[in-house]
Structure 1
Amino acid sequence: WLEQQGLKLAYKKNKGFVIQGEESAFRKAYAIRVHDYFQTHTHQIGHQLFSNKELEQIRLSVTSILLAANYQLVQSAIDGLIYHILIAIHRANEKFVFEIPDKEYEKLKNTEQFRIALQIQRKLEDIFQIHFPQSEAAFITLHLLGAKTAEIGELNHEIDDLEILTEQLIERMSGELGLDLMSDRKLLNGLIVHLRPAIHRMLFDMTHQNPLNEEIHNQYRHIVEGIQRHMWGIEENFQIEFTDDEISYITLHFASAIERISAITTNAIKVILLCGSGIGTSQLLKSRIDHIYPELEIVDAYSIYEIDETLLRHEGIDYIISTVPFEESTVPVIRVTPFLNKDDRKQLNEIINHAREKYVNEVRGLGPTLQEVLPQSRVLTHQPTLARDDAIKQSVSLLVKDGVVNDAYADEIIEQLDAFGPYMVISKHIALIHAKHNHVNKSVGFSLIHFEKGVNFNHQQYDPVHIIITLATEQPQIHLNALRQFSELVMDDKARQTLFSGHLPDIMSCIYKVSQH
């Protein structure tokens, strides 16, 4: 059944069975299960929610009104609207009413989507001889506002503004965190699905309070602060400001993506437990470790008489945690008590911290350093003020000269800025300009130009731009190490001032120092 829905069932070691697939497939499959549930279970409470005939009537009503209004939705959005209406009909029959504040209702009434929602509501009232409460048209309006539209003749996979802006947010967060989040399609799709209705909730002052807001801000402060710095592209495009509650919801998407990366790219610390018999104290110890140390993957519990070197090599064991004396092993042995007292926990904390530092060093070493991709020959200082497009062409020309990109790279950057505004101005007086890999000839390259009096990018907060960094890369993950180091450079107040001074030897010294981290 899952395969028919474009999903698959996979077994993950130590996790069990998980369902995998695209977000759109998950949603369609869920809708089918809801349909099947009501078809087979609602008779138990005295009636059936809807028939196939009613489903077709609703579908025909919705699609015909949308077509007449020239309001085109992608198929998944139409399916979602139909299932919303099915449940709304059930609510109306049960005389169950959701109220909506007058202020928000009046705002929604002024939208084109509200007029379409009223037409759908009135047609359904005639067909099913029911009366919807006033709030129902508002809920249909919210659904239409949050759904993805498509012009006639447009392919369903056509990329819209939100998708581009979300990709740019993920790219900036990749540089902020020093991790490759660009290849995580689940993150992109999940964010887009979340952001569409969230944007309209904020436009109509209908934001949700997040009960975990304080906990999320405390636990993921570095992610929260990164999102707050980099959400401006979406905020400026839609003329909204994300609240702390909304930032917390978005933070969870990034936190989940980071956990997925950790699960894929890092090896868990594999341990086995030893005791005299392999039954009593080791099982007690296992229970304690499971609750306190999720970083430790417990392969199994053994008695000291069962363990041998072949087993240790075959399972790739990193440590033996033992409640009894045991020294005959090539694998390090950590001696603990079954209840994990303070001294025991100190030992385990040390091996976990060692593994974390090892992982951080491995991640930091992925890809070339900033010094390697930004040689002094591609750094110019004290340049005279130019128009924005001319400054971009001058910056790109340094990469063209070294064969990193071709001339069309500058044109594509200019087109992106014309289409989406000055989103490449990433900080006060600093722009990071880049385009897709179509015109890139080498794996990765940077250039840096200092404009003494600045360049106007039409950014309300960060103009004039004194530093333009040009980035070109064939694959998203190749440049992340250098981009992380660049991020560290511009976030350091002293290094920023060095960049703005235009003193070439000091700038190259800063690039050298940050490349050693």
Structure 2
Amino acid sequence: MLNTRMTVIIRELMKADTPVTSEYLAKVLDVTSRTIRNDVRELESIIADFGAEIKSIRGTGYQLIVQDDHLFRQLLQEAADNKREQNSEVPTLPEERVRYVIKRLLLSEEYIKLDDIADELFISKSTLQNDLKDVKDVFRRYGISLKSKPNFGLKVKGEEFNLRLCIADHIFNNIENEMDIDNNHVPLFLKDDLDTIRKIILDRIIQHNIALSDIGLNNLVIHIVIAYNRIKNEKYVSLVTQELAELKKQQQYLVAEEIVNELQRELGVAFPEEEIAYITIHLLGTKMVTELHLDETKIQGIIDQQIYEIVKEIIDTVADDLHLNIKDDHELFVALSLHLRPAIHRFHYGINLPNPLLDDIKAKYPAAFQAAVIAGIVLKRRLNIDINENEMGYLALHLGAAMENQKIDNTPKKCMIVCASGVGSARLLASKIQSKFGSRIEIVGTTDFYKIGKIPLDSLDFLISTIPIPQDMPIPVIQVNTILGGSDLDKIEMVITESLNQRLKYLKEELVFLQMNFATKEEVLKFLGDKLLTLGLVDDQYLDSVFEREALSPTSYGNFVAIPHPLTPKTDSTFWTICTLQKPIDWSGKRVQFVCLLNVEKNSSTDLQSMYDLLVQIIDDSQVVQQLIKCKTFKEFEAIFRKA
């Protein structure tokens, strides 16, 4: 049956439109090309019985060909079922091994020998030692350390509250619904216990009108499941007296008491007072109000003055830094106000609400995510809290919706028709264009070529002409046939949507560096920053801003791509500085070989998301990225960029 590597190979072949090289697959899996060739040979013999084959094209790569779709889907279903049933499957990818070791250490009450873990994973002790560096980095973020005892091994050491948060994030990670919890095979609970806990919570939150998303509900269930099982093993949280007293004043403490009374009655486990406070903390991290149709006076009655002022500062700062017209967006103000109150409690106690959309938000809506990063800076300044990426993702959803609303512009594009064949032809042309584009375009009139000099061009967005116009014009000129054809309409469409060859205007030969040999992201960024400084395109504070942005949230988006940029726009124009690498480097947990240092013009009202969309269109295609990485000259690079 398919192992993990084979499953990844199948996935990469399925999503590719063109043949995939063994070199690319080796990069994805972090193994040698020889290992890939061996895996593919074994894979070919398996999928042959399921109506498919892998065609090897010399010098090009591998291509998946499916002859029997029904049979092949059966293989995919069996592979998915097998993965769920065999939770004990030995991890093969480095990140899977790290997750395995984290889980193993968190769930063990005793010391564990490194030799035993190495044997379980079928790896050398030196490979495990290397993985252990990443494990320690994860634990360090929770204030957890590894206690070492000669001849006994390793054991986790930390505050109970922090250990529980780590268990929630790294054992119950990426759980979005009840089925996911059931299928996660976590050896911490019985199914009956889970059902009981879920029912008790649901009864209480419905009775007290606490509004919870499915993700929020599962998050609460997970934390109480963990608490219940830790208490059974006499592992209790501890809180300082003052903190406990403050939590007991909250309305949510009464709800937590009711939940605990039911839990004690149904499960027969005694919850100390601190454990009631622990549940209160998680209830404080949930939304208590869902109505958005509130005026500003009512909002001020629901939230305290501090949050009201912070939300106003967030919106003003984002609007000023990114030149967005969102200051009067009432719906955004209400949404952020209601979101921030429970979010601040989560920040305070380190509770991580999973965000299954995070990778998609970062990759496809980077402008909205950048707005969320700016919001995070305001929160840091006002409350001295560092919000995590999941929370930034939720803020980006609210800010992104406001940015999309701002883009809904019903103002038509104004144009004039230049026609040399008379009024009749011009009127026919105008009618055809108007019927095609409707309210998106306003034809202000027609003119002969010799009268162009008398037209106030500053009031127009573009010209449509049936004849060549030799002189340079300050606005776009679209040359079409007198009797419009399909390609003529496409030209007009491209100008209306402002996408005509836009991507090439951001690409400059002197700012493209191919096949560079760097080992770290710091080396890459310093090299690119120094180049821009030498060319006089940035000042000496520029690089600090890039590193500051990177520290808030890594800009590696998968697919071997990173798009770093300064915290706020620093340059006098918008351009891309590109660097490809001979070998992938580690960029905050993701491998990167294509770096696009993004610079956006200061004080520009240009739509940032549109420029991002042009770039994402290129880097979203793994095959195009690999072609760009292989380029040795700018001419090759530009040709692929132009065609992509």
State the TM-score, normalized to the length of structure 1: 0.41
Higher RCO, Cα 8 Å, sep 6+:
1
